[in-house]
Amino acid sequence: MASIIPKTINPDEEVVAPDLETSSVAKGPHGHEPAHGSEPCQNHTSEAQDDLNISGITAMDHADKDANGQLKDEYASTLDLDGAASQERVIQDADPMASDVESTHKSVNDQAKNGSQNSNQQQPTLHRMHKFTLYETNARYWITGSDITDKYYKLLKIDRTAPPGQLSVFEDEIVYSKKEVTQLLTTIDDGNKATGGLRVKCSFWGILGFIRFTDSYYVLLITKRQQVAMIGGHYIYQVDGTELFPLTVAAGSRFARERNAEEGRFLGILNNLDLTRSFYFSYSYDITRTLQYNIIRQRNALNQGIQQPGHAYDDMFVWNHHLLGPAVKHLKNAFDWCLPIIHGFIDQSSLDVFGRTIYITIIGRRSRFFAGARFLKRGANDLG
């Protein structure tokens, strides 16, 4: 398929400005494609929250299922050296856990007892988490994250009884199956029956970060999203809804909010900030960098034998940089849970070129250092 991406890119050659890029990506290998038509995407499908219960979490991305509703065996996730879509195979259950094997999550004591034994076993590879659910007890928040296959899960625990001003977050590095995480949540529910059990708070699509004003910490979640483009098999979404939750029991009381007028004022300022317009994110593609940079970086990593290079987000365009600070400090794999967002404009249109469909994607980024009134931020600095 025709492509405007060059076969060979010179790293020393300046190809495109750092805050504006145009790329052409052909239709995905499995039929995934953005909105059709020569006009900019207007029929983006907005995804509402799913009602979840403790017994299980449903898959979310219907775009990765075939006509019969079955999840496809593989999906596009990386760019090859020419910018076209390559394939990353979803892990197959070649040797699934036998049904008669007893789960180690019948009780907290059993889990701790068998922890050393489980650590010696090879953990299944977890793809990037795409769907999250927030549960609560009187003393804890529990967050489960599942990958796109809805087969593997990870767990995040937040202590709600931590002293004001302290963030207590624990990341469980064990990769659970759907059956195991369901049994674990059931165990937590049984252990908290006297205080109301384990309750589903909400389902969401990612964490924007943690913030503290004068007293306790809050967590900001993406509760609604909208697909706007796809680059080489990587989906790009627009933030359509957010929600702020206090992380301590005291911060959730009405009396505490009314007593601290300054805290309430800062909360009001944040709530008045409209995060549902012109903010974008992607689970697997670095939209803070140009297409040329991402291709060259991946090529260099492959030449060094690195299959999955680490994150290299451009700090200039990460608008939730301040909110990500506590997560990076407390979590080993912060970007498995938290998503950097950019502010600007992203759109994608299709063109017919000699009978072939070409997709043109434009990404415009605004630096977080140039927020404010436009007439005060025009011009160029020493960095251009």
- The yes-or-no verdict on residue 330 having pLDDT over 60 is yes
Q: What is the pLDDT of residue 99?
A: 32
More confident: 81 or 203: 203
More confident: 227 or 89: 227
Cα 217-222-224 angle, rounded to 5 deg: 150
For the stretch 8-47, pLDDT in tens is: 444 444 444 444 444 444 444 444 444 444 444 444 444 4
DSSP notation for 55-107: TB-----GGGB-TTSPBPSEEEEEE-TTS-EEEEEPPP-SSPPPTTSPPTTSS
Q: What is the pLDDT of residue 123?
A: 52
Asked if 291 and 4 count as a contact pair (C-beta separation under 8 A), the reply is no
Long-range contacts from 62-68, C-beta under 8 angstroms, 24+ separation: 63/32, 63/227, 63/235, 64/32, 64/148
DSSP notation for 328-359: HHH-TTHHHHB---EEEEEEEEEEEETTEEEE
For the stretch 342-363, pLDDT in tens is: 999 999 999 999 999 999 999 9
CB neighbour list of residue 321: distance below 8 Å, 6 or more residues apart? 315, 340, 368
Q: What is the pLDDT of residue 54?
A: 35
pTM of the model: 0.65
State mean pLDDT over 217-232.
Answer: 94
| Separation in Å, CA 26 to CA 16, 87, 228, 283 | 20, 14, 16, 20
Asked if 84 and 26 count as a contact pair (C-beta separation under 8 A), the reply is yes
- The yes-or-no verdict on residue 93 having pLDDT over 60 is no
CB neighbour list of residue 159: distance below 8 Å, 6 or more residues apart? 139, 140, 168, 169, 170
For the stretch 201-214, pLDDT in tens is: 999 999 999 999 98
Q: What is the pLDDT of residue 256?
A: 56
CB-side neighbour CA atoms (13 Å) of 80? 10
Q: What is the pLDDT of residue 271?
A: 85
For the stretch 186-197, pLDDT in tens is: 999 999 999 989
